[in-house]
Amino acid sequence: MTYSGRNVIVIAVLAAIHCVPTMLLAQEPSGPPKPAAREYLPLGDLSNGRDEINAQPVTPDDRPLTGAQTATLGSPEIRHSYWVPGFQYGNFILPSRLENPTVSQWNSTSYVGGNFSLLASGRHSQLDVNYSGGGFSSTDNTVGNGYYHQLGTAQQFDWRRWRLSFVDQFAYLPQTQFGFAAGTNLSLAGIGGTLGTASPGLQGSYLPNQSIYSALGPRYSNAFVTEIGYGISPRSSLVLAGSYGLLHFTNPGNVDTNDAIFSGGYEYEVSHNTTLGVLYRFSGYHFVGQGQAIGDHAVQLAYGRKITGRLALELFGGPEVTQLRVPIGGSNQHISGAGAANLTFALAQRTGLSANYTHGVSGGSGIFTGASSDQVQGSLAHQLSRQWHGGIHFGYSRNSSILQNSTQTTPSYDSWYAGANLERALGQNAHFSLAYTANMETSNQLIPSIGVPSTSFTLHQLTIEFGWRTRPFIIR
């Protein structure tokens, strides 16, 4: 069965789970009921633009600090379930393919596809689905033609003290997701904008790392997470999460990775806006066709602060112990530190900042059989006028071998992307965006995949994107 077929099954399973009979609720013990995931107001005419939606009341984000998902500023209160289909077109204009960046010829790659977002809400459950996919064609013969798919699903159930969540993030792309179509809706699953369902992303430690540009070619990436939370008291709770992830390439020469992650956390709400927690996480990495395997243990303290509509901050940090099946440099154990930070901040009514940082052991991005990784990504968006929006985007990663060998230089890669974008609304249901992004990579060794004896390269990319959607179709 293909990976695309597996993810179709995932959607079907989540949709079926969403229809579980409500008689399960009758088995709950008596007591004051816990509020549903969201309180919904009438949908109204939400297709009129951002201003009307921004005026809607916002439901606070109540996802756990020690769980697998990142925090948000909250979400608009919308009563009806709905789905919205759309169309998207994108064009990448950039120099010749990475294998030979010294050639000055410029090429064009066009992406044409459809997308949709679905929100199906019940009294004690909610299902969010975002999908984008289609085909691409390039004037560069080394890129050729192909397909792309991005899918994000989140199913949540609430039963008084219990919460059960299923989250899946899948992508099949001709290149890395790190900086892909940055600054445009083509980088996202779903229709984007204000009607795109706001499924929070996964913490960086749960996502397969693919931040080394030198790992070339199409690849499948997927992370499926199951999470269970239990409220011990009105202020304290336990959270358990397990995930399975993969990063597989269609071209030979790259390292395919599978990972399994388990975490357990305890958190306490110090005040209405502040939460403290402690968590343990085990990550196991296996590499297809390789003898190496990694077991990674991390214990972290956690701090979270949320102000609905203004601030969502999460900080994690603690020791990390890494064990290897095959010793490197005469050692099979490495002790270091691991940490993460996630920030979403509304600077003003028209300006927003989003950034995240992750440090720790990762799968190696298709180059290493495990790596010590640092990765930061962020964006700043500003509403210039009623029709125009602008912003900047950036990302940096460093990946190096886990254990150092005293007699050899530790291989490492540094990757960057940075750029700016403009977007204009075209009526109520369409938009046009233009983005520029510079992609750079340096290494302390020769980069064989670029086809020339060099330790660095830089690519400049111009992205043109157009999107159109229908009005929302009300389900109930």
* Residue 141 pLDDT: 80
* Residue 470 pLDDT: 94
* Residue 328 pLDDT: 80
For 151-185, write each residue's pLDDT tens digit: 999 999 999 899 999 999 999 999 999 999 999 99
- Give the residue ranges of DSSP H helices in 86-127: none
Cα distance between residue 375 and residue 365, in whole Å: 12
Contact between 184 and 193 under an 8 Å Cβ cutoff? The reply is: no
* Residue 238 pLDDT: 98
Cα distance between residue 448 and residue 280, in whole Å: 38
Provide the pLDDT confidence category of residue 77 given band limits of 50, 70 and 90. confident
Of 149-158, 273-282, 287-296, 445-454, least confident by mean pLDDT is 445-454
Provide the pLDDT confidence category of residue 402 given band limits of 50, 70 and 90. confident
Give the residue, 405 or 135, on which the prediction is more confident: 135
Structural domain of residue 273, as residue ranges? 3-474
Cα distance between residue 140 and residue 95, in whole Å: 9
Three-state DSSP state, 82? strand
Cα distance between residue 173 and residue 133, in whole Å: 10
Q: Given 3-state DSSP classes, what are the helix, strand and coil percentages for the chain, each rounded to the nearest 5?
A: 10, 55, 35
* Residue 447 pLDDT: 77
* Residue 35 pLDDT: 36
Give the residue, 69 or 100, on which the prediction is more confident: 69
* Residue 37 pLDDT: 34
Provide the pLDDT confidence category of residue 4 given band limits of 50, 70 and 90. very low
Q: Which CATH number is 329's domain given? A: 2.40.160
Q: Which DSSP helix (H) or strand (E) runs through 12?
A: helix 3-18
Of 17-26, 124-133, 191-200, 418-427, least confident by mean pLDDT is 17-26
Three-state DSSP state, 18? helix
* DSSP E strands, 160-273: 162-173, 219-231, 236-249, 257-269
Mean pLDDT of all residues in 456-465: 92
* Residue 109 pLDDT: 93
pTM (predicted TM-score): 0.85
* Single-letter residue type at 176: T
Alpha carbon 433 to chain centroid distance?
A: 21
Provide the pLDDT confidence category of residue 205 given band limits of 50, 70 and 90. very high
- Give the residue ranges of DSSP H helices in 138-201: none
For 7-25, write each residue's pLDDT tens digit: 444 444 444 444 433 333 3
Cα distance between residue 392 and residue 419, in whole Å: 6
The tally of domains found in the chain comes to 1
The percent of residues in the chain predicted with pLDDT above 70, rounded, is 83
Three-state DSSP state, 33? coil
Contact between 146 and 28 under an 8 Å Cβ cutoff? The reply is: no
For 413-439, write each residue's pLDDT tens digit: 999 999 999 999 998 899 999 999 999
Report the mean per-residue pLDDT for the chain: 85
For 21-62, write each residue's pLDDT tens digit: 333 333 444 333 333 333 333 333 333 344 444 456 788 899
φ, ψ of residue 171 in degrees (nearest 5):
-150, 140
